[in-house]
Amino acid sequence: MTVTPIARVAVPVPRRQTFDFLIPAHLALQPGARVRVPFGARCLVGVVIAIGADSALTITRLKPVAEVLDLQPVIPSKLLDTLVWAADYYHHPLGEVIATALPIPLRQGSPVKPRQPQTYCLTDAGLAFDSAALDRAAVQQRLLELLRAAPAQRLSAEQCRQVSPSWRRAMMALAGKHLITVQEAPVPPAVDTSPAPPITLNASQRAATSAIIDSLDGYQAFLLHGVTGSGKTEVYLRVVETVIARGGQALVLVPEIALTPQLIARFRQRIDAVVVVLHSGLSLAERHQAWWAASTGAAGVVLGTRSAVFTPLPRPGVCIVDEEHDTSYKQQDGFRYHARDLVLYRAKLEGFPVVLGSATPSLETLANAANGRHRRLELPVRAGSAKLPRIHLLDLRRTPTDTGLSTPLIAAIRQRLERGEQSLVFLNRRGYAPVLFCRQCHWHAQCPRCDAKLTYHKRRNHLRCHHCGHETPVPVDCPQCGHASLLNLGEGTQRIEESLGASFPCATILRIDRDATRRKGHLEESLQRIHEGEADILVGTQLLAKGHDFPNVTLVGVINSDQGLYSVDFRAAEHLFQQIIQVAGRAGRADKAGDVLIQTWYPAHPYFASLLAHDYEGFAEATLAERQEAHYPPYSHFALLRAESNHEQAAIGFLHFARDQALQVTQQMRTKGVVFMDPVPAPMEKRAGRYRAQLLVSAAHRPPLHRVLTSWLLRLEKSPRSSKVRWSIDVDPVDLY
């Protein structure tokens, strides 16, 4: 019997299996390499998972690999093992998991090595040119002056982008005047030539740094629990410096793009290695280039958001997960992985330590520290002479407000302006007003595609749904009763900005939310303006709440702090406490005292007692006790089956069918301890025109849960009813919304 080698290939299709293809005799293949394979009427790019053998009988039904795209694996073997584990744990098709781990050009079959980036070089004519002649073209003038000051009179695209979002058009204008040339060249090492002066560590920082450095030779998970402003970043830098000095690489994960500019600057000032960035704000070419630099070992530090967890590293030395509690690390659609949990598995497999840093650790991480899975390191005081800010409650039942701002808050902001200090007003709600309301008939503007109200945006004078993006002009009269009695109720960041402008007409007010920072590069420009003291009052959403170091901000005002106190989501109070502690931590980070004023209708709520004392530990202990009594995570494990359809009853009907199938599976497998709840409509049942429902699965232990999920989901996939709705499984959901 003839034995012929076959390749088991993961193809990016929604099927929970690999596919076998013949390996022609003249081709050499390795697991982790990409191949082009025939798949129905298409030819798809897949990744080889394993090389096997089969009998001549099976070979007659197999198609050969059409093309081998890589001589060497693009995904190293241990990273491939991590991806196989992730597909199994999150019950997602392996082909789609692996596609997520690759830059888009590689998914499409492009060469592994990207085209070299363009470098912009000053010509002799440009060197002699009088830049004052460009006084009416400010961006061109700034670029020309920057080129003259740059080493070898050349700049990368990344350096140009820091000048202005319109830098590319300005560079082309300079090229048209023969003042510059555009060349393809490697990215120069981005190392700051003016390093920051060394910082003296306090005793807690020294102990934490030593503990981590002593464990660099193998896997260990650390929880670095430090109050806001305690110098966690300095610990990160000392650890990464040691890793680089030993010839290793560091992976640094952050939850938001907004946190990358400040961290990049600090790492490039301190680390003698190339630092590359990976996040969704980059172009495809930029992401491919950064991935290539990391995977070849040319980059010593990779700094990125959650998808950077998949970056191949030939010499991994440490991974740092900053603000580890942040829900942004959880992917909420498609492949629903959690980057923090995924990197812990990867680190254990590849043998390097992970540092989970936070002032407000997730309750799951605190439980892991309590049971010995993670080693806990404490930074209990702020670095230097800085003190934790004083927190005060403003009782809205007794304190008048003017369009969202109470009298004491306005007075506190005025005091900071007189002292030349900055204030931050936090409201996690975009737009001008969340409700357009008719006082005559009580009609309100509702999204036709969602169970949600439309938000009024004043600048464009339109209504927008923040869930599906639906937009409509603002009606002149009430569509229901015809009266011209429409009111804008509630506050969004735009309204607070307007109110502050009326109260402080001479102050410079800067709003930072997703509406104000849509243009590429605008967020970085705004953060730079804050650091340079060009803004007196900052108004923002969660983009400003975490990780930023604004030394001159001495006052934080929190608007609408009661969101989440009475939510149906069991994690809402935890997330709210974390958010307020994080935004409060922006105040008083230097040698100036800070104050936090929180406006609330419920000052007697027990939640605020812990908040006033900065007692996250006490809040966490009480909440964990409640979770344990209710058999909620981390003392049980959840999976959520979601379904949606254009037809109102289809989604919930499918979930009733799915629950019947689940009970049959558990009976056949004789599995105990896995509980399937009754299907219910989602808290927001209608979204983007589709009706949604969900079914919660709970188990005390993970192994039986995953055994049941594997058999159950396979049965659902084979059922004709599964094609009638859109459905997905979410393992370890961070919210039930």
Structure tokens at 111: 């060469």
Task: Name residue, tokens 């030394």.
Answer: 551
- The CATH number covering residue 578 comes to 3.40.50.300
For 471-500, the DSSP string reads EEEPPSS-TTT--S-EEEES--HHHHHHHH
| Phi/psi at 527 (5° precision) | -65, -35
Please tell me whether residue 130 adopts helix, strand or coil conformation. coil
Q: 60 and 149 in one domain?
A: no
- Which long-range contacts does 647-652 make (Cβ < 8 Å, 24+ apart)? 647/691, 648/691, 649/691, 650/691, 650/724, 650/725, 651/690, 651/691, 651/692, 651/693, 651/725, 652/679, 652/680, 652/681, 652/691, 652/693
- Among 6-20, 408-422, 565-579, 637-651, the minimum mean pLDDT is found in 565-579
Number of helices and strands in the chain (H, E): 22, 33
What pLDDT, on a 0 to 100 scale, did the predictor assign at position 2? 58
Q: 301 and 249 in one domain?
A: yes
pLDDT, one tens digit per residue, over 231-265 is: 999 999 999 999 999 999 999 999 988 777 778 88
Task: Check residue 197 and report its DSSP letter.
Answer: P
Please tell me whether residue 537 adopts helix, strand or coil conformation. strand
Q: 351 and 279 in one domain?
A: yes
How many angstroms separate the CA atoms of 373 and 366, rounded? Answer: 10
Inside any domain, residue 318: yes
Report CA-CA distances (Å) from 605 to 161, 444, 565, 602: 47, 30, 9, 6
Q: Which domain holds residue 312?
A: 203-379
- Can you list the positions of beta strands (E) in 479-586? 486-489, 509-512, 537-540, 553-558
Q: Is the dihedral of CA 475, 480, 484, 490 positive or negative?
A: negative
How far out from the chain centre does Cα 526 lie? Answer: 20
Q: Quote the pTM value.
A: 0.88
82: pLDDT confidence band, cut at 50, 70 and 90? very high
How many angstroms separate the CA atoms of 438 and 457, rounded? Answer: 17
Percent of the chain predicted with pLDDT > 70: 96
Inside any domain, residue 627: no
Using the 3D structure, point to which of 617, 647, 669 is the last residue of a domain: 617
Structure tokens at 399: 């304190």
Q: 407 and 267 in one domain?
A: no
Sequence-ordered alpha helix ranges (H) in 296-406: 339-350, 363-370
9: pLDDT confidence band, cut at 50, 70 and 90? very high
| 411 pLDDT more than 70 | yes
Phi-psi group of 420: left, alpha or beta (phi > 0 → left; psi -120 to 50 → alpha; rest → beta): left
Contact assessment for residue 21 and residue 37, using Cβ atoms and an 8 Å cutoff: yes
pLDDT, one tens digit per residue, over 382-410 is: 887 778 889 999 999 888 787 789 999 99
Mean pLDDT of 36-50: 94
pLDDT, one tens digit per residue, over 521-549 is: 677 777 778 877 889 999 988 877 776 77
Amino acid letter for position 444? H
Amino acid letter for position 697? V
Inside any domain, residue 112: no
74: pLDDT confidence band, cut at 50, 70 and 90? very high
How many angstroms separate the CA atoms of 374 and 356, rounded? Answer: 9
Please tell me whether residue 240 adopts helix, strand or coil conformation. helix
Please tell me whether residue 8 adopts helix, strand or coil conformation. strand
Query: How big is the chain by its Cα radius of gyration, in Å?
Result: 28
Inside any domain, residue 572: yes
For 411-445, the DSSP string reads HHHHHHHHHT-EEEEE-S--SSBSEEEETTT--B-
Other residues' Cβ atoms within 10 Å of the Cβ of residue 467: 16
Q: 524 and 403 in one domain?
A: yes
For 52-88, the DSSP string reads EEE-HHHHTTPPBP-EE--SS-SS-HHHHHHHHHHHH
- The continuous run of DSSP H or E covering 406 comes out as strand 405-406
How far out from the chain centre does Cα 128 lie? Answer: 46
Inside any domain, residue 407: yes
Q: 140 and 208 in one domain?
A: no
Structure tokens at 494: 């735009």
Inside any domain, residue 307: yes
Q: 179 and 207 in one domain?
A: no
Task: Check residue 28 and report its DSSP letter.
Answer: -
Q: 692 and 580 in one domain?
A: no
Q: Which of residues 613 and 206 earns the better pLDDT score? A: 206
193: pLDDT confidence band, cut at 50, 70 and 90? very low
Task: Name residue, tokens 């900053």.
Answer: 322
Inside any domain, residue 441: no
Q: 599 and 708 in one domain?
A: no
What pLDDT, on a 0 to 100 scale, did the predictor assign at position 661? 95
- The CATH number covering residue 98 comes to 3.40.1440.60
| 3 pLDDT more than 90 | no
Total count of domains within the chain:
5
Please tell me whether residue 317 adopts helix, strand or coil conformation. strand
What pLDDT, on a 0 to 100 scale, did the predictor assign at position 529? 82
Structure tokens at 705: 């849960």
Using the 3D structure, point to which of 107, 142, 158 is the last residue of a domain: 107
Contact assessment for residue 554 and residue 388, using Cβ atoms and an 8 Å cutoff: no
How many angstroms separate the CA atoms of 452 and 11, rounded? Answer: 38
Listed residue (414, 348, 713) closest to 555, CA to CA: 414
Q: 284 and 174 in one domain?
A: no
Amino acid letter for position 728? S
| 638 pLDDT more than 80 | yes
**Which residues have CB under 8 Å from 165's CB, separation 6+?**
519, 520, 521, 522, 525
Structure tokens at 713: 């989901």
pLDDT, one tens digit per residue, over 672-687 is: 899 999 999 999 999 9
Complete edge-to-edge strand list for the sheet that includes strand 455-457: 455-457, 462-464, 471-473
What pLDDT, on a 0 to 100 scale, did the predictor assign at position 539? 93
Task: Check residue 380 and report its DSSP letter.
Answer: -
187: pLDDT confidence band, cut at 50, 70 and 90? very low
pLDDT, one tens digit per residue, over 284-295 is: 888 999 999 999
pLDDT, one tens digit per residue, over 59-72 is: 667 899 999 999 89
Report CA-CA distances (Å) from 67 to 32, 43, 60: 15, 10, 19
What pLDDT, on a 0 to 100 scale, did the predictor assign at position 57? 45
| 190 pLDDT more than 70 | no
How many angstroms separate the CA atoms of 243 and 233, rounded? Answer: 15
Q: 367 and 283 in one domain?
A: yes
pLDDT, one tens digit per residue, over 319-371 is: 999 999 999 999 999 999 999 999 999 999 999 999 999 999 999 999 999 99
Using the 3D structure, point to which of 589, 617, 645 is the last residue of a domain: 617
- The CATH number covering residue 658 comes to 3.30.70.360
Q: 368 and 221 in one domain?
A: yes
Other residues' Cβ atoms within 10 Å of the Cβ of residue 391: 21
| 276 pLDDT more than 80 | yes
Inside any domain, residue 480: no
Task: Name residue, tokens 């002799």.
Answer: 124
How many angstroms separate the CA atoms of 316 and 303, rounded? Answer: 13
Contact assessment for residue 271 and residue 248, using Cβ atoms and an 8 Å cutoff: no
Query: Beta partners for 695?
Result: 641
- Which long-range contacts does 470-475 make (Cβ < 8 Å, 24+ apart)? 474/436, 475/445
